[in-house]
A and B are shown apart, each in its own frame.
Chain A
Amino acid sequence: MSAPAIGAGELLPPQEEKKNYLNVEHTVRSWLLTGDHKRIAILYLFSVSLFFMIGGIFASLIRLELISPSGVLLESETYNKIFSAHGIVMIFLFLVPSIPAVFGNFFLPIMIGARDLAFPRMNLMSWYVYWLGGLLISSGLILGGVDTGWTFYTPYSSLYSNTQVSLVIIGIFFAGFSSIMTGLNFIVTIHKMRAPGMTWFRLPLFVWSMYATSVVMLLGTPVIAITLLLVFAERTLHLGVFSPELGGDPVLFQHMFWFYSHPAVYIMILPSFGVISELMANFCRKRVFGYHFVAFSSLAIAGLGFLVWGHHMFVSSQSMYQGVVFSLVSFLVAVPSAVKVFNWTATMYKGTIRLQTPMIYALGFIGLFTVGGLTGLFLACLGTDVHLTATYFVVAHFHYVMVGGSMMGFLGALHYWWPKMTGRMFNDTFGKFNAMLVFIGFNLTFFPQFILGFMGMPRRYHYYYIAPEFMPYHIMSSAGASALAVGLIAPAFYLISSLRHGHKAGANPWGAHGLEWETSSPPIPTNFEETPIVTDEVYDFSAMDEYEHRHGSDEMAPAGGHN
């Protein structure tokens, strides 16, 4: 609870309802030219949801194809294009921007008590650049697609593939710049725009994780940009850099690609860590156990994440000694990740746990991320990795991290902050039921793939009639995918219907701690009436209860005035 600076006249009841960021202006122009970080977040929410749906359609086609061992639905080339499109759209247009560009954009300034991000116009530009990338990628997919996989390994991508690689690569190049702009904005905002009293160790853990994410975005993305630009140059100008035929080194491409693309995994998962820390604290009404450790483990993961890319290349021609070092450092990443999981679990101990929708997602996250993380150790180990490389075990592992981790975090964040963003409560019963459906559907989809991988089912194959014993697992997986699909589509319905039928949400419907709960729902355009002055520690629920007890209110007064 920060002590709001309240002027004498402000204690009188408000004369009329304040305009919030949604209804302050209504024209299309006011949305498309906005500098308000909250409106840009809403623009991003629509955009990433759209691309998530497109990526999901590709995923459904993959699962449909694999029901039958003989690959009856799609041609081999079509299947190659479908799984490439699934990977490219999901990674570059959904997972990377999802939580930072939507919830980071919306809540990071509010959580630190700022009126906006440091560079609002750059923030808006990042959305347009994201769409430029999105449209280029989409047009590439419509004009024939790519069959290289999302990894674009040379020389196939640069010399041989006869598909729309150039267009898609340039699209990814632009999408990368959008994420650089977001990361740069966040770093400057966190460093320079914290409200008085908002020290580094009073920052909510979501802000710490956004900071770590931004560092990775800033350091990693330029490298993928130049790497893909060189693949483009090799394709179009025959500049010899990566193709052995032109005297180049294809393994160098793999090094440079994974130098970004492994840290990119942390761009996708670190924001979720931040969301889960918020949910754990607020739905256990307890300070996160080992706050400092959780904060620094984000930075440790961001740092170590840059030193492990070689574990994607154990079966390439990199030297064995390199392999040993990369294996060791990959094991080290497990330490900060485990610190987080143990600390979240310890937070629940003697906490006042409330099993509302966001908390169900958070609990699901912990289970799924633990499985995803531990199976990562199988792959970090040189010996087992040689056996498991390019099998469904890898596919299952990274889906447990990316879908079970990042996407559960995204849904948790969406439900947690929905009342703040829209001013309406959704139906908690639907929400809880849906969270469990997602959890069950997800496990049914991806757990059989671990078994498939161990049995030897290679990834990126679309028929397996020589090994019909794979079929039951593929059917299980496809059945789970349908349940998962329902669980992912349902929120679109009950959340949107809550806009019309939901109860009005107060400033703090979850009884949560943090500056974003001290302004009105939805927030006013400038976030706070006056710049808040932070006087209490992070997640200090006892001080909050005491304040409420003293003031006899079940809802806190918004900072700097009323809503």
Chain B
Amino acid sequence: MASIAHGHGHGHDDMVVHVHHQFENIDQQNESYLVGMWCFLVTEIMFFGALFLMYTIYRMNYQNDFYGAHLELSQTASTPIAGPLVQMTGLKEFPVWGSINTTLLLISSFTMVMAVRAAQLRKKADVMKFLGATNVLAAMFLVIKFSQEWPPKWAHKMVPGANFGPEASHLHGASPRAAEIFYSLYFAMTGLHAIHIIAGIGVITALMVLWRKGAKSVTEDYVPTEMVGLYWHFVDLVWIFLFPLFYLIPG
């Protein structure tokens, strides 16, 4: 295999750094990693970008229907578990789960930043702590999405496809056809986002395993942790756009 690590210590400190054979030194390797990661994120932006374009076009076509359909993403005082929280806000309906999930992801971005900071300082215990916190927050996001958000849509026949056919009370005045497009986009975009969260949990877990083992490839330099961080911030950022587009449509 070509990617055999050499112990060239061209480095700037005395540590033996993990430089792959194709690179001259650790700086070149780190810069390549980061440019590569940013390029990957560019492809991700184009990937989601196509969906955002579709959203824009269909929302322009069906603004009122999208407004009606999006009300179903909010919770009311009679919703189980979330009901008391809606009452606290004093509003008729409020996107409780969407807001909580947004908060969870914002906090997870913070813990990820702290993990990268700890990696720069080579504080292994802190890295483990903050990466672990990030993973817990991400898992909570998924639990809420898959237990509180998606199952009611399934029960009310709001999943697009052959079985789509919600009762009028769940459409809030939207035409069924436009509502189906709304939910097609909702499941496609938040579903793709959820896949990215799951992948993120996998990558963060792998990173934690490497840190725990003390693998030189991650412990001697903060860049691998930074790369996972960049990915994680991107996933959060996508949600920051998804949340207002689906949950906060003005009437």
Contact = CB atoms under 8 A, between A and B. Distances in A.
B54 interface: yes
B181 A218 contact: no
B154 interface: no
Q: Which residue of A193, A221, A226, A227 has the most chain B CB atoms within 10 A of its CB atom?
A: A226
Contact of A118 (B36, B53, B57): B36
Nearest to B163: A238
B155 to A, nearest CB: 18
Contacts of A121: 1, 3
A191 B47 CA distance: 23
Contact of B50 (A114, A115, A226): A226
B22 A118 contact: yes
A192 B44 contact: no
Contact of B160 (A109, A223, A237): A237
B49 interface: yes
B35 A222 contact: no
B28 interface: yes
Contacts of A218: 39, 42-43, 46
A374 interface: no
A218 B46 CA distance: 9
A114 B21 CA distance: 10
B35 A239 contact: no
Given A116-B2, A193-B28, A247-B177, A240 B42 contact: no
B64 to A, nearest CB: 14
A528 to B, nearest CB: 12
Interface string A187-198: 111011100000
Nearest to B162: A238
A203 B42 CA distance: 25
B2 A219 contact: no
Given A116-B2, A221-B43, A222-B46, A531 B36 contact: no
A238 B164 CA distance: 10
Nearest to B65: A247
Contacts of B61: 249
Contact of B188 (A188, A233, A247): A233
Interface in B170-224: 177-178, 180-181, 184-185, 187-188
Contacts of A238: 160-162, 164
Interface residues of A, number: 47
Given A121-B3, A192-B32, A237-B161, A531 B24 contact: yes
Nearest to A230: B188
A497 B219 CA distance: 52
B67 to A, nearest CB: 16
B160 A239 contact: yes
A35 B1 contact: yes
B53 A184 contact: no
Interface string B8-24: 00000000000011111
A238 B35 CA distance: 39
Q: Sorted from nearest, which 7 A-B pairs have the closest CB atoms? A: A35-B2, A116-B22, A222-B47, A222-B46, A247-B177, A238-B161, A192-B32
Given A221-B46, A241-B184, 18 more contacts: A33-B1, A109-B22, A119-B32, A184-B40, A188-B35, A191-B35, A192-B35, A218-B43, A221-B43, A222-B47, A223-B46, A227-B50, A230-B54, A239-B160, A239-B187, A241-B54, A246-B181, A531-B24
11 contacts: A109-B22, A114-B22, A116-B21, A118-B36, A119-B36, A121-B3, A221-B46, A223-B46, A226-B48, A239-B184, A240-B184
Interface of A: 33-36, 109, 114-121, 180, 184-185, 187-189, 191-193, 218-223, 225-227, 230, 233, 237-241, 246-249, 252, 256, 259, 526, 531
Interface of B: 1-3, 20-24, 28, 31-32, 35-36, 39-40, 42-44, 46-51, 53-54, 57-58, 61, 160-162, 164, 177-178, 180-181, 184-185, 187-188
